[in-house]
Structure 1
Amino acid sequence: MPLEAVPAGQASDGRGLVLFVPTIAVPGAPTAAELNAGTVKPLTYSLVPDGFRHATTENVINSGRYTLKQILELPGTVADTLEVQYVNGSPAETSLTEGVLGFIVHRLGVPNETAPAASQKVDVIPIRAGVQRKVAPTANTELQKVQKLFVTGPVQRDVAIAA
């Protein structure tokens, strides 16, 4: 058997975009117009380096059988959480006021300066913004806030932007 070929990787630097989008008519098919509207707020460079914390947990259903020594597994419910951390005075702070509803759109693999366009893949996360909490200041750091964004509906993963 021949050795496995090493696939080419892609650097993540400069290839991640985070947007706050107030309105998306069909979250499973956001349009380029919706993602480029004047009401959309780019948040990417408001965030600190580890400031976009989207996690997905898939629960397990244990499935036993009569006299079977092994427990089988089935996929269970899925839970998404999202927390952001950003510098004070940034668009994230002014856009994500407590209680605001909208969508966080996350795109990877495309240069940041490239506008959202048809066929690009994005995740669409419906949110309600929680309380903006101050991060304790430390030497040689910027003032920051951290905020829970409550996931309010199904997360759309790797959906193509419609024309």
Structure 2
Amino acid sequence: MNAPDSLPSPRRATDSITRMTEYLLPTHANALGNAFGGQILAWMDLCAAICAQRFAGCICVTAGIDELSFEQPVRVGHVVRLEARVTAAFRTSCEVFVDVRGEDPSTGSTWPCVSGFMTFVAFRDGKPMKLPELLVTEPDELSLHEAAHARRAARLARRQK
């Protein structure tokens, strides 16, 4: 366990990847038989929190969710696939990208549902904790990581208004 002021060892972005699979039941759906947006958001938050906590090695709490746009619905009887990964680590916060896809289990076909960025703050003993350096080694992670500082600057600017 790291002392609150010591910096943890660097961690690879690929080690933070977290996947969840959920079956869409009628209790998760609206009157049209499509997933409630709030249910998808709850699963995104859970998947991203697990991802952030694995990366940080401590409890992480949701600090913000960037703009999300639902692309295609997921219907009752379909599967919801979520994948989260840390895209950037700052002093005590990290950015997590979550991609959600629908899947028809009878055919295996998938489609985009929603994706977005969430920010988490690491805590230990009730105090923000320094995060490890994020090691980005895979080409598909690089573009997300390179744009992270611009996204963070935009988030901070919105908070100042």
TM-score in terms of structure 2 length: 0.27
More strand by share: 1
More helix by share: 2
TM-score in terms of structure 1 length: 0.27
